[in-house]
Structure 1
Amino acid sequence: MTGVNSPTPRVALLTYSTKPRGGVVHTLNLAEAMARRGVDVTVWSLARGGDDGFFRAVDPAVRVRLVPFPDRENETITDRIVRSIDTLRAAFEPEEFDIVHAQDCISANAVGDCIRTIHHLDQFTTPVLVECHEKAVVAPYARICVSRAVAEEVRQGWGLDPTVIPNGVAHQRFADAASDSPPATDARRRWSEQLGDYVLAVGGIEPRKGSIDLLEAYAALRERHPDLTLVFAGGETLFDYRDYRAEFDRRRAALGIEPVVLGNVADNDLPSLVAACLTFAFPSVKEGFGLAAMEALAAGRPVVARDLPILREVFGDTVTYASTVPELATALEKSLEPDDDRRQAGQALSASLTWDDAARRHLEFYARHPQPARG
């Protein structure tokens, strides 16, 4: 075994999906930053639905191990999660690594002794999923959270004391998309020609993202700004939100609104989509950090966020907060007015959070928390 204190410890980072969800984005960026520091790092994931790779190209310095996970018709969410755990457990080879670091409940349940990053805490009612969630918090031998607010939830709920290591942000990638260079200007113009002036939300249509509240707020906003479009991008999850989506569609029809639902956007196109919006809506009711909103700040976009303690911790005064639908509508309208001081503060905040710093702090954490002896 190489050993975590050696120049090239062997690290396994495990995530549940190849799709562009926040935890997956975190995993890939962290792995690449570790590789830049000379770490031998492998990312493991389930390859759902026949995927043959992640949603974006991964630095060749990072090894990728994808475990086939074909879809099954009429499978319940509980059965799918249990099968996910069993499939990853059967494929994973822990003896190959000095550090095993799980990024979600599925991988933490699958791999045995591990470090766990708790990005946010979920709430389940199905006994099997409650047990999986509990085990994924309690069983790891060490824990990381990406914000103090989530770490405090863990302390209050379980008496455990996670270490806080904030996310990094691919600041330059989004700042470049907002620049005056001809390629960046052309990319933003293409989005504007397709969508007009738009409010953007990234993360799909689901309860945790507060999508229906945003729909209601946009309906009020549109009365005063009839040419403004509402755009939803992204969204892929294990959970079945068909009932929520049906309610979203019912409200959309009742309000006479036709938002643009883009689904997953190609990774190379996402920065220009963000940079071209007039304002970025982030009405989530639960978050662990808020990476998509931080990317919007990097692109110089105003952000309107749900008034949550975790988001106030991460974003401070760089975004506008709203709790209710009327407040959200008012804040979105106000954000259409330029605020250079807030824009500059947001860009400075996003630039201060780097993946290289996150990788350094993770490696220091690994050195303090070596993997227990196996067997």
Structure 2
Amino acid sequence: MSKASLRRAAQFAAIGLSGVLVAACGGSPAPAPDASRFDPAVFPASTFSGLKGSLTWYDSSGGATTEAKDSTVWKDFTALTGLPAQAEYTDGTSTKFRAAAEAGQVPWNLIEFGSGGEFFQAADAGLLAPIDKSLVPTDKLAPTSVEDYGIRVEENGALLAWNTNALNGKTPTSTADLFNTKDFPGKRCMYKYPVSAGTLEVALLADGVPADKMYPLDVKRAIAKLATIKDDIVWWDSGTTSMQLLSNGECSMGMMWNGRLFDAIENQKLPFGYTWNGGLRTAAYYAVPKGAPETKTGMAAMAMWVLDRQGQIDFVNKTTYNTDIKDLTLDDYQANVRPYIAQGPNVAKTVTEDSQYYGKNLDAVSQELAEFQSQ
């Protein structure tokens, strides 16, 4: 071990922690931990010492969201433990993860489920390890964010957005205006799949179903409502595509994810308007797969996500995707980010996606929607 690595080892021990200080990729030393950031009273040795392997994680986000994790919470995880974070991006978890898990050949220590429906499907199938609450501080999360086999993270929302140039100064007031083609002409961009962007929920809201009576979904009623504007719908299957369709004017309005809207409006200065009214609130989930190479490393990564307060704030300021940690509120984030965060008054008039419903019904609902789209 080099002199620099020995110094880092001494610094690591000084705050009551120990670990591998040489990253697996190329053998380059991990950054020295900062004792002021990693107070042992906050980051206990019982969770973060003696970890092995690396934070290999199944990434269902990709792009800017993955980069934001790598530059905030996972960067801090590496600095604290010496273990590198290695993402493997795959769109969705219903194929590659399930195939590996069912074959007993899981290479990941942490799984990110992009939707709650996929998470509950995996949990019900016995593919996940139960949370070790001696390692993961679930008491610091809102009770609704804690499940036996994972935690709810990265709260996000699907909002009605519009291109202000395409609507000639008119302003929609809720997702019901997707179905008002007389006052708001033009194509509507809607997500190709049922989860995460409110495709069926907004149709039912517009058809008179109250938000608190949404589930179980009346799928046939939702599809009948979508059929009233079928010729005006352009289906998108990625956040990048949704933004392109709205910015180039192919769609005048549509359902968009809040993080994408934040980037489009605040960073790219695109002429978009939006409303949360009638939108959808949903989230991702973190879990450790059964048979993970290093279960404790996966549990420690979830603990880091909850305990790294500054890393979490920095991540949300980059993406808008907040986790419901008890001591964080809208006021902790940058002023220009707050209107886009799925928290507090922003989500007062939205539907909260029922992840357990989708866990049991996702395949059947997906098939019905796909059949409608193919007609």
TM interval, short-chain normalised = 0.3 to 0.5
Q: TM-score, normalised by structure 1?
A: 0.37
Q: TM-score, normalised by structure 2?
A: 0.37
**Could you say which structure has the greater relative contact order, defined with CA pairs below 8 angstroms and 6 or more residues apart?**
2
Larger helix proportion, structure 1 or 2?
1
Q: Which has the greater radius of gyration? A: 2
